[in-house]
Amino acid sequence: MNIQWYPGHMTKAKRAMQEDIRLVDLIIELVDARVPLASRNPDIDALGKGKARLIILNKTDLADPDCNERWAEYFRGLGCHVVSANSRSGAGLRQVNGVVQEACREKIERDRRRGILNRPVRAMVVGIPNVGKSTFINSFAGKACAKTGNKPGVTKGNQWIRLSKTLELLDTPGILWPKFEDSQVGLRLAFIGSINDDILERSELAVELLAFLRVHYPGAMTERYGLADEDMSGSEAEILECIARARGCLARGGGVDSDKAAGILLDDFRAGRLGQITLEEPPVKAEPSTAEDQLWRKNDR
């Protein structure tokens, strides 16, 4: 299943980021803890060259706890500052101010030597669609500063937000990159809802997700949908049919509505109702992020 999605407005958004990058001291990049590499736009590294970097490992409540700290260590190994967070609940966000000051310590000290006092740190908040940037900003600020939504593309333009005398944020639209060289990247982004669902074949996507879950998190399906061992012994398409029957997704004539069952499965995964699941494992050594990393295999650990 080869997924590509790069709507025209993203070209405009990238151009705006290129123009504004010179105005900021720090780049705060949000990644989804379930797919920390797939949810990194490789263009950000080129755009932010020479800028201080802070990675917000977001949605850690939805990810496998065993993996979250290893991902944080991986990004620290790349020279980034890291905060693990759940922006929706606010968990972890109290650390952000201190980490921002540490990340920009050289800039702050340089200003002081020049006699420039109380100049705020300016940070650009970046990330792919639906990774939680606006939710992060609103939770961090303690008020609704940015529009939020559970679909990609809610933020349409850049917006400056003054949080305090020491920090200003530039909210930017979520942007992807023109082509996913690895088909697995497109799949992972579709799983977490960063690709517009309207261009996807949900039944095919659900089958791909089931192929991963049945190997690495089989208990997630048996517990959520009450499936028996014999239900899990068939193909992924047959497992989807079992989920359809368990959830009453029936079509006319007594058949099953696999498309409706696929929507239920994807919604359950995205909302964390299948449990805490991570789809990628960090490389053994910190290396520049790449789309060629393989899906996580628990039995390789």
pLDDT for 76 equals 96
pLDDT, residue 13, reads 81
C-alpha span between 123 and 278 (Å, rounded): 28
Q: Give the pLDDT confidence score for residue 289 in this predicted structure.
A: 47
Amino acid at 62: L
pLDDT for 154 equals 41
| Cα–Cα distance for residue pair 128/29, rounded to 1 Å | 9
CB half-sphere exposure, 162, CA atoms < 13 A: 5
Q: Specify the amino acid at residue 31.
A: V
Report the C-alpha gap between 226 and 222 in whole angstroms.
Answer: 5
| H/E segment holding residue 161 | strand 159-162
> Within a 10 A sphere around the Cβ of 25, how many other Cβ atoms?
21
Q: How do the pLDDT tens digits run along the chain, 301 residues long?
A: 777 766 667 788 888 888 899 999 999 999 999 999 999 998 888 888 889 999 999 999 999 999 999 999 999 999 999 999 999 999 999 999 999 999 999 999 999 999 988 889 999 999 999 999 989 999 998 866 655 444 444 444 578 888 888 899 999 988 887 778 788 999 999 999 999 888 889 999 999 999 999 999 999 999 999 999 899 999 999 999 999 999 999 988 879 999 999 999 999 999 999 999 999 999 876 454 443 344 443 334 3
CA distance 297 to 33: 16
d(CA 138, CA 144): 5
